Amino acid sequence: MKITNLIAAAVLSANTVSTPVSTVIQKQDDSASSLQLDVSLQSNDAYVIDAENGQVLLDQNSEAKIYPASMTKIMTAVVVLESGLSLDQTVTITDEMLDGLYEAEAAVVGYSAGDTPTVRDLLYGALLPSGADAVNALAYAASGSIDKFVEAMNQKAEELGMDNTHFVNPTGLHDDNHYSTCKDIATLTNYAVQNETFREIFSSSSYTDTLGNLMYSTVAGAIERDHISLPGFVGDKTGYTDDAGHCMASYSELNGMKIIIVTAHAMTDIYATSHLQDASTILNALNSWSRKTVVSTGDTLGSYIAEKVIGRMEETITSSEDITADVPDDAKIAVTTDLANSYTATNQDQTKQLNITVTADGKTVAETAQTFTIPKANDFFNRILIFFRDLF
């Protein structure tokens, strides 16, 4: 039997099987019927998903327009890593790469014209201290100009299905036409962390480049200074402009869950750590959740009667794969299907779809489907009777 993953939010009624549970693609476009975190955040907009199974753990204005600020540099890194440039290739810094950055008060690594960092150095410079000088150097190295590089960024966004995103520059410096959504940035972050090089850089707190420049992550000091608790935290990219406020995209691994958090429009005070505090709030709330197998392969999902003209056949349906979901540790799990009590047997096998919904404390956490076969009547007498029944 083949399982087709579905994303939906309605709770289906019918037979209830009290088995514990495991997964598939999770739903949650309808927050009223899906189980989500109940937290209070300082950010106006937030989106939290399990990167592995797609389960939406929090949706707070996830499709509202935001200015991504330096979260933009996640896309910059992705485009560079897929450009074919060697990580050990050196790039000569030019005045053109640095033009306008001082006036824009952009964060920089501190490169000067004539410096020759490697592509690897520049990627660390873009993602850790959020250096716009490193970003522009990467754009010129990969595409020959900022404009051509931005074209590649927008093309990649289209490929990833980031339908509400448009880039104007590779740095994230403010432009009214440079925008995204928390949901789109989550899609981007989820894609980026699949790349081992990106993930290695993304998860680093410091780096010394080949020229001797020591770089620190933009959040490492604040986390230590303010004793911010981030259970399972792997890495992040923050952003800030006056228009964007504080924003942050992060990846964490906690209790079997692979968590992408994107928050935006937090406090506009440049020294605020509200974005980090929101990540802490979310991760600490999720510390009492875990990925659980709620249905195992072979578990009984229900039974039905196949009615013949004379007699009946009783059939049992079992799960053809594991179903998992992220749920609170103390949640009451239930599995429901839309299996009917009986079906009419014919002279041909009939393939049907069984819809399966998993709930935790009455809220949907996973929904999937599998096919099952109603067997044809297997005795000569019933086959003759069914033939004449169907004939008339």
Annotated binding-site residues for substrate read 237
Q: How far apart are CA 351 and CA 348, in angstroms?
A: 10
> What is the set of active-site residues?
70, 73, 130
Q: How far apart are CA 243 and CA 70, in angstroms?
A: 12
Known binding-site residue numbers:
237
Site of tokens 């349906």: 317
Q: Which residues contact 250 (CB under 8 A, 6 or more apart)?
A: 189, 233, 234, 235, 236, 237, 260, 261, 262, 279
Pick the closest to residue 233 from 266, 279, 291 (CA basis): 279
Amino acid, single-letter form, for residue 327: V
Give me the helix-helix angle, 132-143 and 119-127, nearest 10°. Answer: 140
Q: With left for phi above 0 and alpha for psi between -120 and 50, is residue 138 left, alpha or beta?
A: alpha
Q: Which residues contact 279 (CB under 8 A, 6 or more apart)?
A: 228, 230, 233, 236, 248, 250, 261, 263
